[in-house]
Chains A and B, each alone.
Chain A
Amino acid sequence: MIFVKDLEFYYNKKNHVLNEISFQAEPGLCTAVLGNNGAGKSTLIKCLNRILEPQDGQILVEGKNVNALSRNDIAKSMAYVSQKNPSERVTVYDTVLLGRKPYIAFEPTKKDHQLVKQVLKRMSLTSFETRYVDELSGGEVQKVMLARALVQQPKVLLLDEPTSSLDLNNQYEVLERVREIAKEEQISVIIVIHDLNLALRYCDRFLFVKNRKILAYGDKKVVTPEIMKIVYGMEVAVEVVRGVPVIIPMPLL
């Protein structure tokens, strides 16, 4: 569970990037952070685990104030996967093992290795463990990064556009895994995502950011043509196809 109250972030005081951001994300659920380009979605999730230092506000993870935690302790409770994944000449196994860094005093223990093997197996990456990451496809790299985040044993998982560079099949596979793991491990997942249909299919909560503030937050019911018009400045229709809401853009031709 993550609880955010009155979060405020700016690079200079006259120009706030985020203001009065308050919400809470429950364990086992996926929250999609939505909004137009430059709305501050990525900034928001980077403020949660203090990759960026917010100027004001309170963030509680499992009841603990994030401001009072050391960087290492934050890393034990929150994991983050960036939208830019550098392809390094490091093996899949060693990349995933890096996720144990907050727990490693000098060398990884047997428990660290066991966890890495479990997560590799769960993500169907066992046969890749000695492959170098720079030899893998985009979808495989994303799964490796997700595995690295999972061995951190986080309570909150922050994903910044995890599907932006993936093909259709990989987009669905990655989000399917994320949702499955969130439910099983009772992790609060917060995803910055642009594809509204993917979000509607895999996320449980929807948080719209507009003009530095939260415009709407709630379950699928908040995804309405009216909200979409305000956020994206575009007419859309929301249809239900096989039980799943689907956004159909209706641009003015």
Chain B
Amino acid sequence: MENARTYERYLRNKWVFMIGLIVCVVLFSVFAICVGSAGLNLNQIFRTIVGMGSNQSEIILFNIRLPRVVTAVVAGIGLAGVGCVMQALLKNPLASASTLGIAQGAAFGASFAIIVLGAGLQSQTIDSITISNPYTVSLCAFVSAMISTIMILGLSQFRKVTPESMILSGVALSTMFGGATTLLQYFAADVKVAAVVFWTFGDLGRTGWREILVMSVVVAVALIFFLLNRWNFNALQHGEETAKSLGVHVKRLRMAGMFVSSLTAATIVSYIGIINFIGLIAPHLVRRFVGNDYRYLLPASALTGALLLLVSDVIARLVVAPIILPIGAITSFLGAPLFLYLLFKGVGSR
């Protein structure tokens, strides 16, 4: 009985950690809504939500701050969830949307839309570049990211679907899309190149409520699919043969999982641009607290992804306010040292 209580205590600790993460996400979301060049306090936010706020605070809250925060939470959940699942499916700690060529595919699509289809530049001021037709850019980025995905899945069908062949196909496609983007930029006018670079920075402020709705539905469906397969992901951790012996259709799971993951990543990246490291680092970070059990790792990674993106966004908005720094650069700046720390701490502790 003593040991049974110990296991229960161990499970309780995991739940406490997850509830702590939820509380952090909620608190940081409120903080992220409050901070900005036009300050809003909690009282004003509450009054605005119940319809008693000023016109200005209504515009700031519902058109700027809230969409930004919701985008950060949804994209963070999606990117981290996708990274976590890709790491299980490919049994590779470096698997994520950016290492598999999906982000590079999206960047090529956006470049194509801006440079070839003329969806690029409308106006350029000192601190902002506006993309005249964001729908075309997002659509092209999505289509191109999905082409990248379908090519990876297709190439891996030529031989056996091994994790290695998928990762290597991703590396090859990243290089190919990177080269194609460079060629497009080489022949484009300066202003269009600037618009492409601006798009690839990543920006949480590009999404309106309609885009958020699409993104949320895709992320929610993907999360349900991931959670329904959590036992399969756990089995896959023990190797392909053991997973098969436990009743998992490994090939089917890998193909379906990669398709859902890539579709989710492509949707997010096509709306907000390239945001590195969230999908890679969030699962590695929470593994230290909840272990490798996907029943806990998956939701904890998703919540950590949301938290990391919220923190990065607040930093991006506050460091040199009122200028908003590119979120992609902040996540890379925060992610890379954190990743190295985890890596070397891991080496030292073994």
Contact = CB atoms under 8 A, between A and B. Distances in A.
Interface of A: 46, 49-51, 70-72, 74-76, 78-82, 84-86, 88-91, 93-95, 98-99, 101-102, 104, 106, 117, 126-127, 129-130, 132, 152, 158
B47 interface: no
A80 B291 CA distance: 24
A127 B4 CA distance: 10
Nearest to A70: B247
A91 B241 contact: no
Contact of A102 (B4, B241, B247): B247
Given A51-B241, A80-B242, A101 B247 contact: yes
A94 B241 CA distance: 19
Given A86-B239, A94-B293, A79 B234 contact: no
Contact of B245 (A49, A91, A93): A49
B238 A98 contact: yes
27 contacts: A51-B244, A51-B245, A75-B247, A80-B242, A82-B238, A82-B242, A88-B237, A88-B292, A89-B287, A89-B291, A89-B292, A90-B234, A90-B237, A91-B10, A94-B234, A98-B231, A98-B234, A101-B232, A101-B234, A101-B235, A101-B247, A102-B246, A106-B228, A126-B3, A129-B6, A152-B246, A158-B245
Contacts of A104: 231
A75 B248 CA distance: 9
Interface string B1-36: 001101100100000000000000000000000000
Given A102-B247, A158-B245, 5 more contacts: A51-B245, A88-B292, A90-B234, A98-B246, A102-B246
Contact of B244 (A71, A94, A95): A71
A70 B3 CA distance: 36
B246 A101 contact: yes
A127 B232 CA distance: 27
A78 B237 CA distance: 20
A80 B245 contact: yes
Contacts of B7: 91, 93, 129-130
B241 A129 contact: no
Pick the most buried of B4, B232, B238: most chain A CB atoms within 10 A of its CB.
B238
Chain A contact surface mostly = mixed
Contact of B10 (A75, A99, A106, A130): A130
A78 B287 contact: no
Interface in B242-256: 242, 244-249
Interface of B: 3-4, 6-7, 10, 228, 231-232, 234-235, 237-239, 241-242, 244-249, 287, 291-293
A51 B234 CA distance: 17
A82 B246 contact: no
B244 to A, nearest CB: 5
A206 B239 CA distance: 28
| 6 closest Cβ pairs, A-B complex | A80-B245, A75-B247, A72-B247, A102-B247, A89-B292, A51-B244
A79 B245 contact: yes
Contacts of B248: 71, 101
A79 B246 CA distance: 7
A91 B291 contact: yes
Contacts of A46: 241
Nearest to A74: B247
A124 to B, nearest CB: 12
Nearest to B228: A106
Contacts of A80: 241-242, 245
Nearest to B246: A101
B23 to A, nearest CB: 24
Given A90-B292, A98-B234, A127-B3, A82 B247 contact: no
A173 to B, nearest CB: 21
